[in-house]
Amino acid sequence: MACNEGIPITVAQQVSAHVVQYEHLLDMAPCRVSGAFFRELIIFDDYGQNRHKRCRFSSLREKLSKHIDITPHEGVFVLRGNSGTRRVLRNEIEIAERLKATRGFRIVDPMTSSVTDILSACFGAQMAVGVEGSHLIHAVMTLRPGSSLLTLMPPFRFCTVLKDVADREGLKFGFVVGRPIENDFIVDPEEVERTIDLILAAHPE
């Protein structure tokens, strides 16, 4: 949005390797400054899941897809592990491996993978599954309208931000709420599979 109006400006701060890689793939070159004086400054009021945001999101997806050899597949499980604000799914690996074995899902760990490897695992997926959180945006960015998103919710942090994004992108959405175990949580693998079946049955292709 900003590049159509002027020079995109952002705060000078340390950025992750993923940020650098995404900027390269998307031909983004923001000007990072620690201080500046502006004679004219445009600030966008871009709240909510509006149509313009959907259009921009679609454009980003198309740009990223040009760098990936896409093969349709059943789904991808995006691991969260101990990253970010703590909400550790104790049996995350068990669920991921089960979906790999029973449904042919791919498994990707954003914390140990490059952006290209993440996108290669996610593009073409009919469904993305993982603990609710920002790491799922790697997969959501690649999902085509009509695909599905299933979030595994901690019982102490129920968040619907990704539901709003899913609605904007025309994605089928479901969730499973886990149960607490000490400061973490677990999710019933059987319930995950039943919920996947419910999503697919309610929205047949």
Nearest to 150 by CA among 99, 110, 85, 81: 99
Q: Are strands 9-11 and 31-33 parallel, antiparallel or unpaired?
A: parallel
Question: Residue 136 corresponds to which amino acid?
Answer: L
The tally of domains found in the chain comes to: 2
Q: What is the pLDDT of residue 204?
A: 57
Please identify, among 65, 90, 115, the residue that sits at the C-terminal boundary of a domain: 65
Are 82 and 59 contained in the same domain?
no
71 in any annotated domain? no
Q: What is the pLDDT of residue 103?
A: 97
Q: What is the pLDDT of residue 47?
A: 84
Hey, what are 203's tokens?
């929205």
Could you tell me if 144 and 64 are in contact, meaning their C-beta atoms sit under 8 angstroms apart?
no
36 in any annotated domain? yes
Q: What is the pLDDT of residue 87?
A: 86
pLDDT mean for each 10 residues of the chain (205 residues): 89 91 93 93 89 93 95 96 82 98 97 96 97 94 95 93 94 96 95 96 68
Q: What is the pLDDT of residue 113?
A: 95
Q: What is the pLDDT of residue 197?
A: 95
